[in-house]
A and B are shown apart, each in its own frame.
Chain A
Amino acid sequence: MTARNTRVARRTGAAVGLAAAAALLAGCAEELPTPVADEPFEGPVLTMEQETAVVQDVAGVLDKAAEENDPKALRSRVGGPALEVRKSQIKVAEERGDDSLVTQIPTDLRAAIIPTTETWPRVTYTITQPTENLEVPRMVAYQQESARDSYKLWSWVQLIPGTTMPNFADPEAIGSEEVAPDDDSLAVTPADAVARYADLVAKGTDDSEHADAFELPGESQDLVKRIQADARNVREAETFDTADGRYRLAFAARDDPLTVRTSDGGAVVMGVLDGNVRIDVEEGGTIPPLTETQSALLAGEDETNELYVEYTDQVALYVPPAGSEDPIRPLGYSHVAVAAANEIPKKRNTDREESEE
C-alpha cells in the first residue's frame, strides 16, 4: 500500500508541479490582440444626424448671407447653380429692399435621401416640409465635391403640386446609389433626359420632338407650361404685334446633372438649364421689365427696344429604369432670372449647341 501510495503521490506531485508551472507561464504571457477590421461599411455615408447638421449649417449660412446681403458668405456652404441663383436673389433683394423673392429653404425635412457613394463627389437630397407661408416643399441637393470639402447646397427645386415622389431606399439603413450622368441603366441617360427637357421647355409640347417622352403634370404648372405661358403672354399682347416685337427664348442643359437612384431602379435627376429670353421691338419702342426681378436686375438702366433676361433654372426629373414604358416626369423646378440687360448680347448663356427657336 505504501509503495502504491508513494507512486501515486509522486505522480500527483509531478502533475501538480506541471500544472503550477503551466499556470504561471500562461498567466505571464497573455497574447497581444491584433487589430481586426470590421466589415467594410455598407449603406449611407451620412447618418441622419450628420445630414441634419449639414442642412442646419447650410441654412445658417444662407440666413447669414441674406441678412448681411453678402453673397460671398455663401461660398462655404453653397455651390453649383444654387450659388448663382442665390447670389442673384440676394442682389435682387438688396436692390428691392425686400427679400420676399429669396427662396426659403426650410430645415424641417420630410425625407432625406442619403447616398452610399464611397468616392467623391457625393450627393444627398432632402425634401423639406412646406415653408412657413405654405409654399410647396422643396427638393434640395447637396454635394460634397471632394473629401476635404463640406457638403454644399447645390440646387433646389420647388416641387410641382400634386407630384408623386418616387420612393428612395431607406436613408438610415440602406442608402441610395448615385448614378453617373451617362449611366445607361435608365430609360434615358440623366444627361440626355435633362437635355431633352431643355428642348421641350424651349420649344413647347407642340414643337419639341421629345414631347412624347415626358408626362407633364395635367393641371399644375411645370417649367414647360410656365415658359410657354410667359411667352404667350408677351406675344399675345396687343401692342406687341404692332410694334413688330419678337420674343425669342432658348434653353440648354448643363452637363453633369446629379442623379440618385430610386427604389424602382429609376432615378431622380437634378439638372440645370441655362435659359434666356430675348425680346426686341421696333426702333424707338421700349420694353419695360416684365417682372420685379427683372427690373431689379436692370437696376435702373434705361429701357430700350431690347430686353435680355438670363435664367438659371434648376429642374428635377424622374427618369424610369431602362426598359420601362413609363415616361419621364418633371418633379419640380426653380425658374429664377439671374441677369438682365437692355440689349441683347452676342454671347449668351445658352451658347453651345443651342436649340433656338
Chain B
Amino acid sequence: MLQRILGAVLVIAGLAAIAFGVATATVLRESDTVVATARPVGDGTLVVTDPGVLDLVDSDVTVTASVPEGQEVTVVVGRDVDVLGWLEGDPYTRVTGLQDWDTLTTSEMLPEAPEGEEAEAAEGEEPEEVELPDPAGSDMWITELTATEEVSLRWNDRPGPWVLLAAGSGAAPVEEAEAAEGEEAPAEASDADAVAPTLELSWDREVGTPWLWPAVGLGGLLLLLGIVLLLLGRRKKKPGRGRRAGGGAAGAAAATPGTASSGPVGGSPAEPASPESPASPDAPASPFGSTTSAAAPVWTAPAAGAAAGAGWAATAGTSDTTVSAPVPAPADEGSTDGPEQGATGSSPEDPGESRTGTAPVPVAGRFSRRSTRLRRTRSAPEPAAEDGAQQDAAPASPSVPAEPPTTTTGSLPMLDGRPLTRRELRRREEERRADGQSGVGRAFRALTGQTPVVPPAPATPPAADDPPPISGRRAAAWRETWGFDATAARPDEQQDDHTDGRTR
C-alpha cells in the first residue's frame, strides 16, 4: 500500500515536473523583448547614456526618444569622449543602467564649473538668453537622427564605449534655417519650452529555456520510478490474492469495466460491425482459428443450449458474467497456443488486460493495446452473430479472438483449476467491486488517470501440463455445475487443462 502511495506521489511529482518544464518554456517564459524607459531629471534638454548602457541586454538596441508635441528631438551616437566633451558646460540627464526591467536609472548632471552659467541654465528657460545645445550637425557622431516629436534609432553595438545623446531642440518649424546656421541654433522664443526627451530603449533578448529538458527529463524519470513502484506493489499483491481474487485491486478496478464496460463492448453492435468483416477473412489463415473453432464447439456445445453457443462475446455483452465467464474460458483453452491466445483474449480495456494479467492470461496478453482494441472491436460483432458459425469466424481471426470481454470473465472463474460456481462468481464479483471502489488502486487510478499497470509476466507460469487431477477436478466441477456427464467431457478437459495451465 505504502509503496503504491509512493508510486503515486512519484508519478504525480513526475508529471508536475514535466508540466513545470514545459511551462518554463511557454507560459512562464519571459518576454523576448526588454523595453526600458528613462525619464529625464533636472532642467537640461539633454539625455546621455553611460557607456555600456546601449548594449546592456543585447547588442542590437532600438532607441526611441520622444518630446512633447511640436518640438524637435535629435538622437546621436558617438564616442564617449566626444559626447562628454561636447556636453561640457550643459546640464544633462545621465542614464546609468537598469533599475528594473522596465525602468532605466537616471541622474542629473550639472556642469562642473558652477558659474553664472549654471544658474542661468538652472533657472533655465529665460527665453532669449538660453542657447539651446543642439548636437545635430557635429562631425563626431557616428549616427544622427532628427525628427519632430519622436525619433527612433537602431544601434548595433560595435566595440568601444559608445554612448547615445538625445537632445530636445525646441520648436521644430524652422528646421531648415537652423540646420544651415550650424550646430548652435539661435534660441527662439518657443525654444524656451524645450525639454529633455524621454528615452525608451528596447532590446531583443534571448530567453533560454534552461529548465525545459532537465525538468522534463527529471519528470520522466520520476514518472518511470513511480510506475515501477506501482507495478511492484501490484505484483507483490498478487501472490497473496491474485489467484483467488483474480487480480486484487487491479482486478477490482477492472471489475467496473468488467461488468459495465464489457457490456458496451459487446453491447454496441454498431461499433464492432465494421471490424468484423475483416476478421472473417483472416479466419482460414490462422492456425489458432482452426483450433479454436474446433475446440470451441466442443465447449460451447454444452452451453449452446444456454445461448452461450451464440458467442461468448454476446454473453459478455449481456453482462451476464456468470454465463460468459465459463464460455470464454473454454475458448481460450481451445486454442492450442496458449499465450498467443491469451494475448488475443486479453480484454479490450486496460482493466480487462490487467485482470487477465493477474489471472490466467499469459505474457502475450500484454501486447499492445491497439491490438487489444482491434480484437475487441472484432469480438463485438459476435454478439450480433447467432450461431456456431460465428464462433468459427470469431476465433478464426488469429489476432482477433473475439473473447476480449470474455477473457476477463474467463480468467475469473478459475479457482484451483476449476471453474467457479455461479455463486462463487457472484460473491467474488461483489468482493472485487467493493475492493475496487474503496481500494487505493482505485484512488491511484483516479489520481494518475492511469489504468492499473499490467504486472510483469505471470509470476509463476504454471507448467504447461497441469496435473490431470486438477483439470479433472475442474472438469468435474464444471460438469457438475452444468449437469453434464463426467465421462463425456473428459477429453476436452484435457485440452482445457492444457490451456488453463498456461493461461494461469
| A242 beta carbon closer than 8 Å to chain B | no
A27 to B208, CA, bound (A): 10
Check A35 against B96 for contact (C-beta < 8 Å): yes
| B218 beta carbon closer than 8 Å to chain A | yes
Beyond A9-B9, A13-B13, whether A39 also contacts B183 by CB under 8 A is: no
Which residues in A have their C-beta under 8 angstroms from that of B222? 12, 16
| B28 beta carbon closer than 8 Å to chain A | yes
Partner of B2, one of A2, A30, A32: A2
- Looking across the interface, which residue of chain B has its beta carbon closest to that of A76? B182
Fill in one digit per residue for B223-242: 1 if any A CB lies within 8 Å of its CB, else 0: 00100010010001000000
| B10 beta carbon closer than 8 Å to chain A | yes
| B159 beta carbon closer than 8 Å to chain A | yes
| B97 beta carbon closer than 8 Å to chain A | yes
Beyond A32-B98, A76-B182, whether A27 also contacts B3 by CB under 8 A is: no
Of the 9-residue stretches B45-53, B291-299, B415-423, which lies at the interface with chain A? B45-53
| A239 beta carbon closer than 8 Å to chain B | no
Beyond A5-B3, A13-B9, A20-B17, whether A50 also contacts B101 by CB under 8 A is: no
A50 to B236, CA, bound (A): 84
| A34 beta carbon closer than 8 Å to chain B | yes
Beyond A6-B6, A24-B20, whether A148 also contacts B138 by CB under 8 A is: yes
Beyond A6-B2, A9-B225, A13-B13, whether A35 also contacts B56 by CB under 8 A is: yes
Check A50 against B140 for contact (C-beta < 8 Å): yes
Check A23 against B20 for contact (C-beta < 8 Å): yes
A10 to chain B, nearest CB (A): 7
A78 to chain B, nearest CB (A): 13
| B100 beta carbon closer than 8 Å to chain A | yes
Check B85 against A147 for contact (C-beta < 8 Å): yes
| A151 beta carbon closer than 8 Å to chain B | yes
| B161 beta carbon closer than 8 Å to chain A | yes
A166 to chain B, nearest CB (A): 26
Which residues in A have their C-beta under 8 angstroms from that of B28? 27
Check A9 against B161 for contact (C-beta < 8 Å): no
Fill in one digit per residue for A1-30: 1 if any B CB lies within 8 Å of its CB, else 0: 110011001101100110110011011001
| A134 beta carbon closer than 8 Å to chain B | no
Partner of B81, one of A2, A6, A41, A50: A41
Which residues in A have their C-beta under 8 angstroms from that of B14? 16
Check B182 against A32 for contact (C-beta < 8 Å): no
A54 to B236, CA, bound (A): 90
Check A50 against B161 for contact (C-beta < 8 Å): no
| A150 beta carbon closer than 8 Å to chain B | yes
Check A148 against B97 for contact (C-beta < 8 Å): no
Check A10 against B51 for contact (C-beta < 8 Å): no
| A144 beta carbon closer than 8 Å to chain B | yes
A144 to chain B, nearest CB (A): 7
- Chain B interface main SS type: mixed
A39 to B85, CA, bound (A): 18
Check A20 against B16 for contact (C-beta < 8 Å): yes
Which residues in A have their C-beta under 8 angstroms from that of B215? 20, 23
- Looking across the interface, which residue of chain B has its beta carbon closest to that of A77? B182
Check A148 against B159 for contact (C-beta < 8 Å): no
| A323 beta carbon closer than 8 Å to chain B | no
Partner of A35, one of B20, B53, B139, B232: B53
A79 to chain B, nearest CB (A): 13
Partner of A39, one of B16, B98, B100, B160: B160
| B42 beta carbon closer than 8 Å to chain A | no
| A212 beta carbon closer than 8 Å to chain B | no
Fill in one digit per residue for A129-164: 1 if any B CB lies within 8 Å of its CB, else 0: 000000000000000100110110000000000000
A6 to B24, CA, bound (A): 30
Partner of A30, one of B30, B159, B162: B30
Which residues in A have their C-beta under 8 angstroms from that of B159? 38-39
Check B140 against A38 for contact (C-beta < 8 Å): no
Which residues in B have their C-beta under 8 angstroms from that of A151? 139
- Looking across the interface, which residue of chain A has its beta carbon closest to that of B183? A148
**Interface-centre pick from B9, B13, B96 (highest chain A CB count, 10 A):** B13
Beyond A2-B3, A23-B211, whether A41 also contacts B232 by CB under 8 A is: no
| A90 beta carbon closer than 8 Å to chain B | no
Check A38 against B52 for contact (C-beta < 8 Å): yes
Beyond A5-B6, A45-B82, whether A54 also contacts B139 by CB under 8 A is: yes
Beyond A40-B161, A151-B139, whether A5 also contacts B56 by CB under 8 A is: no
B-facing residues in A55-103 (Cβ within 8 Å)? 57, 76
Check A38 against B2 for contact (C-beta < 8 Å): no
| B57 beta carbon closer than 8 Å to chain A | yes
Which residues in B have their C-beta under 8 angstroms from that of A37? 50-52, 80, 161
Beyond A5-B232, A27-B211, A76-B182, whether A147 also contacts B88 by CB under 8 A is: yes
| B111 beta carbon closer than 8 Å to chain A | no
Check B56 against A23 for contact (C-beta < 8 Å): no
Check B53 against A118 for contact (C-beta < 8 Å): no
Fill in one digit per residue for B149-166: 1 if any A CB lies within 8 Å of its CB, else 0: 000000000011110000
- Looking across the interface, which residue of chain B has its beta carbon closest to that of A54? B139
Which residues in A have their C-beta under 8 angstroms from that of B337? none
| B79 beta carbon closer than 8 Å to chain A | yes
**Interface-centre pick from B140, B142, B159 (highest chain A CB count, 10 A):** B140
| A33 beta carbon closer than 8 Å to chain B | yes
Which residues in B have their C-beta under 8 angstroms from that of A237? none
Which residues in A have their C-beta under 8 angstroms from that of B161? 37-41
| A53 beta carbon closer than 8 Å to chain B | yes
Which residues in B have their C-beta under 8 angstroms from that of A1? 232
A120 to B88, CA, bound (A): 12
Fill in one digit per residue for B36-71: 1 if any A CB lies within 8 Å of its CB, else 0: 000000000000001111001100000000000000
Check B51 against A35 for contact (C-beta < 8 Å): yes
A293 to chain B, nearest CB (A): 31
Partner of B97, one of A13, A34, A47: A34
Beyond A41-B161, A147-B82, A148-B184, whether A35 also contacts B52 by CB under 8 A is: yes
B-facing residues in A295-317 (Cβ within 8 Å)? none
A36 to B50, CA, bound (A): 9
Check B139 against A144 for contact (C-beta < 8 Å): yes
A76 to B20, CA, bound (A): 65
| B137 beta carbon closer than 8 Å to chain A | yes
Which residues in B have their C-beta under 8 angstroms from that of A38? 51-52, 159-162
A42 to B30, CA, bound (A): 38
Beyond A35-B96, A147-B88, whether A45 also contacts B56 by CB under 8 A is: no
B60 to chain A, nearest CB (A): 15
Partner of A33, one of B80, B98, B184, B236: B98
A9 to B10, CA, bound (A): 7
Fill in one digit per residue for B183-226: 1 if any A CB lies within 8 Å of its CB, else 0: 11000000000000000000000000001000100100010010
What are 20 residue pairs bridging A and B, where the CB atoms are less than 8 Å apart in the complex? A2-B2, A2-B3, A2-B236, A6-B2, A9-B9, A13-B10, A13-B13, A16-B222, A26-B211, A33-B57, A35-B52, A35-B97, A38-B159, A41-B79, A45-B82, A46-B139, A54-B139, A76-B182, A147-B86, A150-B137
Closest A-B pairs by Cβ, 9 of them = A35-B52, A37-B51, A147-B85, A9-B6, A147-B86, A37-B52, A37-B161, A35-B53, A36-B52
Residues of chain A having any CB pair with chain B under 8 Å: 1-2, 5-6, 9-10, 12-13, 16-17, 19-20, 23-24, 26-27, 30, 32-41, 45-47, 50, 53-54, 57, 76, 118-120, 144, 147-148, 150-151
Residues of chain B having any CB pair with chain A under 8 Å: 2-3, 6-7, 9-10, 13-14, 16-17, 20, 24, 28, 30, 50-53, 56-57, 79-82, 85-86, 88, 96-98, 100-101, 133, 137-140, 142, 159-162, 182-184, 211, 215, 218, 222, 225, 229, 232, 236
Q: A9-B10, A34-B98, A50-B139 are in contact. List 10 more A-B contacts (CB 8 A).
A: A5-B229, A6-B6, A9-B7, A9-B9, A19-B17, A33-B57, A34-B97, A39-B160, A45-B81, A150-B138
